[in-house]
Amino acid sequence: MHISTRVDQTRILQADEIQAVIESLDSKTTKNAAINHTLFRLSCCVGLRRCEIHGLNLGDVVTHGPRPHVRVRPETSKANSKGNRKGRKVPLWWDAGTREHLQAWQEWRFQHGGKPSSPFLIGVKAGADPEGRLAMKAIQKRWKTAIATLGKARQSQLSVHDGRHSFASHSLQAGRSLVEVRDALGHSNVSITSIYLHMLDRNDVPDVFQMRKAK
């Protein structure tokens, strides 16, 4: 299997860009904005793939206890070269801001009839089932809307998968080990994860990650 040894640095969201997107979405009070904000966090601050965001259920997000995490079930993860799928747990204790946001969204969903088996993200299209899972195409479209504050050039350049790349780079620059980030991303080995090393300056870590002081 060929493993790329480089990541296009222009496709990594910088610290000020991540903060700008979160502040922009936080300033809006619509349900659409809340969905887009949650999607952005799941991609850029949790490192989930689009298929994993699509398959995430309310019961997969554990926000309480000493080790809050997002559980990626095997059936929603990406298959490896042999066709096997492996589940994993992505730490939420690395980032208090994202944990708090996901907890608030989860509580809102439960208050409005959501169950552990209900989709974490739902669509709001007129006439759609209120429990309808957010479609794969809608995830990419909403990502573009979420990052609109960065301007049309960046909006056209960045995909939802670039949020995952950004999570990997910022996690390593914040001091997380290759093994920790490998496990969070679900990589098969650290050689894949290591391509994100030295992508960013150590002083350019988004405040929203809050990982440098984490235990």
Cβ(37)–Cβ(73) below 8 Å: no
Structural domain includes residue 35: yes
163 part of a folded domain: yes
E strand or H helix at 13, and its extent?
none
- Does 1 map to a domain? no
Report whether pLDDT(16) > 50: yes
pLDDT in tens, 139-191: 999 999 999 999 999 999 999 999 999 999 999 988 899 999 999 998 888 88
Token representation of residue 166: 């950004």
- Please report whether residue 99 resides in a domain: yes
Residues forming the active site: 49, 82, 161, 164, 187, 196
Strands (E), 79-174: 88-91
Q: Is the pTM of this model over 0.85?
A: yes
The range of the structural domain enclosing residue 192 comes to 9-209
Q: What is the DSSP annotation of 23-48?
A: HHHHT--SHHHHHHHHHHIIIIIT--
Domain membership flag for residue 161:
yes
Considering the domain boundaries, does residue 38 fall inside one? yes
DSSP letter string, 177-207: -HHHHHHHHT-SSHHHHGGGTTSS-TT---G
Residue 81 lies in a domain: yes
Domain-embedded: residue 204? yes
Number of domains in the chain: 1
CATH number of the domain to which 43 belongs: 1.10.443.10
